[in-house]
Structure 1
Amino acid sequence: MNPSFCRMRKSLKIAIDSSPNNDKEKDRLSNLPEDIVCQILSHVDTSIACRTSALSKDWNRRSVWTMLPDLSFHYWFPLYSPDYYRGFNEFVNKALDSRKGKHIRRFHLHFSSEGRSFRPSDFQKWISGAIECAAEEINIELNRDPCFHQIELPLTVFSSATLTTLKLYGHISIFATNSPVWLPKLKILDLSTHPCQGCGMEAERLVNSFLSNCPVLQEFYLNGEWNMMSIVRAPYTLKKLNVHVDSFVNDSFEIDAPSLEFFCLQQSSPVRYVIMNLNNVVAARLSILFEFISDRSCLFDLFQGLSNVKYLYLNIQYRELHGLPVINKNLPADDRDDRLPQFPNLLCLYFDGSSNMDLLPSFLQKSPNLETFIIQVKGPQDKWQLNSFCVKSPQDKQEYAEAYKHAWGR
């Protein structure tokens, strides 16, 4: 049993036993308002909430755990025997059956299995049950043995009239459907899944179908092996975009997001960026790994599209340098020209790692309103050191720029 749950149960039992006239009066827990009870129990796994109901006769009599607006289930194969799955399946079905005709605020499922005891039909039944209960938020993390096929989502997920948040992690397939996507209330979409092999352009079609048919979408997270993506066209409502992709197999990656305010890009081996309508981005975080220094020319197109940002985080690395800094002799002749755009609104600049430090002098010179820049580099014994500098005057900025030009061979 969970140690924290044991301590909670012990303390609550003491409170009950110390209540005056305990045999004649209701225990103190039973006197708590129902909304308070539901709020407390919503912070633990639903199975724990069910067992906690035994601490109060009134809770147990009313099956108070069936009134919770949030359902959370965790199954981890190394911790449980295969026989446990049967009971887990029955409990999830019982919890969903008890909510029929009621409203679910959140449905969270974290499932890790080796595959032998798991049946895809059970998974689809659970998700369909949550949709039938008009769930507002669905958060699913499914981890299985790689030798097993990915599990398909039920079609009802793609046309829910109540979903505001959909987060999918792990071995979940969203490609085996031609059903149109229409999620009129969805505000947050997180696709941290592993697209199946052979999906090809279907991945791009489906992602842009989500973006086109979620009219109030505000946040979109794309994380995983989505290397066939080449175009992301965001709706006017989108404020936050987070793209974490190992690499793209296409020649270019195009982003069109006119209302975007927060942009995060993490990828390897980019080829070419086509940036449109990113003038409203306030904060950007770029973590990019190039094979060779000569490949980084596309980086300046990305900077050009983000030249209006106020806060910029940079981590640019090169495999050929093995974490060493870029110095003058490493650069191709056409990369020594000052191709960096002006950053008139930049207030804070964060450099993570030493490989891109050669760009710092140009950034300092091209950012007239810069107030702070932060540098994190490896010092003695490979320990990371964080240095923060305040720019109080143009003279300070010029001195910093000259110092780093000398230090990094620019």
Structure 2
Amino acid sequence: MSEEIDAEFQSKMKLDNDRINRLPDDILVAILSFLSPIEAARTSVLSSRWINLWKHTSSLKFDAYIGRAVDATANRKKLSEVERGKFVNRVNFVLQSHEAVTLNEFIIRYDISGSDKRRYDDYTLRVDEVTQWLEYASAKKVPILELNFSPKYDESLSYPGLTCAFPHEFLTRSTSVDFTPLKALTLKYIDVDGGAIEFFLRNCPLLEELTVHESKELSDVSVCGTSLVLKHLEICYCRDLKCVRVSAPNLVSLTVQKLEELVLENVPMLVELSLPWGFGEISGEKLCNAISCCNLQLEVLNLSVLINPEEGIEFYEFPEMPRLKKLVVGYRDLTEQSADLLPYFIRAAPYIQEFVLKLHSPSISTLKSTMSTGFPHEQLKVVKFCGYRAREIHVRLARYFLENFVNIEKLIIDPRPFFFTEQIPPVSSIPIENVRSRSREQLGAEVPERVELVIL
């Protein structure tokens, strides 16, 4: 009986293989494009027909993070050294073998950080390697380019200052560099400067998305031009960044972190804005000035509050945002002073339907002034509380929302750790399951029947 089953199974497998082999080459290449380049290359052993199919895939996405667990074991350092070298060699091998004339996307995600800061040079990419990858992207006329060298395994072992040098001289080769088809560009942990950003803006007439993270070379950035088609701009964690100037008529979303001043002009389409505020960041006055440039059209506002309690808080009247639908307020540390701002944030947006509160670290035990300041809101339907740790102050905040948001329909409690930035992970000794259980006990009696309680 078992022999009959085995024969039937082999017959089905042969039939399935025949069905695949009957497909035309262009369909098979399209299927292989969904695999990683390494996985696609392995199909060359199937038969003589498959030897070169992978070389014509339309997408090259090298992701060193896929398949790697977050781990901080004693063997991590030795393994990471070997794997880094193998990864770069695999990338270069595929690029040398690949034969497609053009590509739809070219993505490299690779952790250049190491667990031993003293051996800095062992973990950095050589400039000529980055140059080679940029040359390849230019030659293949890719519309989507991502060079992402950020740490992903264990945030606590990463070094925020560890970045890769950018080959600025490469951009001066005007005769050989062509990024005209580029539509989306992501550069993370690469030291691009303002000149490099201006180069891409000037020479990429189709560029719609630009993302830059962790560059030590950025101080002042200008993203200006009446002909720009740029829709999404994100510049984050560039610790020496002073000022960003934006004049982009098609810009829809803007995210900036770690800067002192934001100047907005001619942004009639801007509806989503994410900004920092507080110690070492944009002051209250400059924050209000930036919001005033787009307050009548904003639909989503995300504020990261980094108030230093010893410095005090300057309060400025927030301009009313009549079209705002979603307000997100994140606190690194919820203090007596910073909590006082919550009513004013919400009052400035009389028609918001969703409010999200994000808490990074354990909160203070009392919030006297805020708890005594009511701000009834009739439009709010959904409240999400991220970083809820079942503390007494968290219960009081949830109760305060339920009392003041008179038409609330859903309260979402998210006890999972909230990462305020990529470099500062939260620390908590309370297991998530315990927090979930305590949250149900604490809030079950607080939430009225008309409100849906969701605990993630």
Question: Who is 1:327 aligned against?
Answer: none
Deviation at 1:263?
Answer: 1.4
Question: Who is 2:32 aligned against?
Answer: 41
Q: Which runs of 5+ in 2 are unaligned?
A: 1-5, 66-76, 113-120, 152-161, 364-387, 409-456
Question: Who is 2:374 aligned against?
Answer: none
Q: 2:124, 2:163 within 8 Å by CA — same for their partners in 1? A: no
CA distance in 2, matches of 1:254, 1:25: 58
How is 1:273-292 mapped onto 2 (pairs within 5 angstroms)? Answer: 273-291=262-280
CA distance in 2, matches of 1:87, 1:263: 33
Question: Who is 2:356 aligned against?
Answer: 374
Q: 1:78 to 1:120 in 2, by over 3 A?
A: farther
Question: Who is 1:31 aligned against?
Answer: 22
Structure 1 residue 245 and structure 2 residue 237: aligned?
Answer: yes
More strand by percentage: 1
Deviation at 1:223?
Answer: 1.7
Q: 1:241 to 1:170 in 2, by over 3 A?
A: same
Question: Who is 2:43 aligned against?
Answer: 52
SS at match of 2:191: coil
Question: Who is 1:310 aligned against?
Answer: 299
CA-to-partner distance for each residue in 1:33-68, whole Å, 9 max, x for gaps? 4344333332333222222333x33544x4322232
CA distance in 1, matches of 2:284, 2:233: 22
CA distance in 1, matches of 2:84, 2:263: 51
Deviation at 1:219?
Answer: 1.4
Q: 1:17 to 1:139 in 2, by over 3 A?
A: farther
Percent identity between the two aligned chains: 21
Question: Who is 1:184 aligned against?
Answer: 180
Residue type matched to 1:49 in 2?
A: A
Deviation at 1:233?
Answer: 1.8
Structure 1 residue 346 and structure 2 residue 337: aligned?
Answer: no
Residue type matched to 1:232 in 2?
A: V
SS at match of 1:341: coil
Deviation at 1:316?
Answer: 1.1
How is 1:3-402 mapped onto 2 (pairs within 5 angstroms)? Answer: 18-19=10-11, 27-54=18-45, 56-57=46-47, 59-60=49-50, 62-73=51-62, 78-79=78-79, 89=89, 95-100=94-99, 102-111=101-110, 115=122, 121=128, 124-125=131-132, 127-142=134-149, 171-177=164-170, 178-180=172-174, 183-195=179-191, 203-224=193-214, 225-234=216-225, 235-248=227-240, 250=242, 252-267=243-258, 270=260, 272-291=261-280, 295-308=283-296, 309-320=298-309, 330-331=312-313, 335=315, 339-353=317-331, 354-355=334-335, 356-377=338-359, 378=363, 380-381=390-391, 392=407
Q: 1:110, 1:141 within 8 Å by CA — same for their partners in 2? A: yes
Q: 1:176 to 1:123 in 2, by over 3 A?
A: closer
Deviation at 1:381?
Answer: 4.1
Cα-Cα RMSD: 4.4
CA distance in 2, matches of 1:43, 1:31: 19
Q: 1:343, 1:368 within 8 Å by CA — same for their partners in 2? A: yes
Deviation at 1:307?
Answer: 0.9
CA distance in 2, matches of 1:74, 1:370: 39
Q: 1:92, 1:126 within 8 Å by CA — same for their partners in 2? A: no
SS at match of 2:204: coil
Question: Who is 2:414 aligned against?
Answer: none
Question: Who is 2:431 aligned against?
Answer: none
CA distance in 2, matches of 1:25, 1:255: 55
* TM-score, normalised with respect to structure 1: 0.64
CA distance in 1, matches of 2:55, 2:178: 30
Residue type matched to 2:139 in 1?
A: E
Number of paired residues? 331
Q: 1:106, 1:137 within 8 Å by CA — same for their partners in 2? A: yes
Q: 1:275 to 1:302 in 2, by over 3 A?
A: same
Residue type matched to 1:304 in 2?
A: S
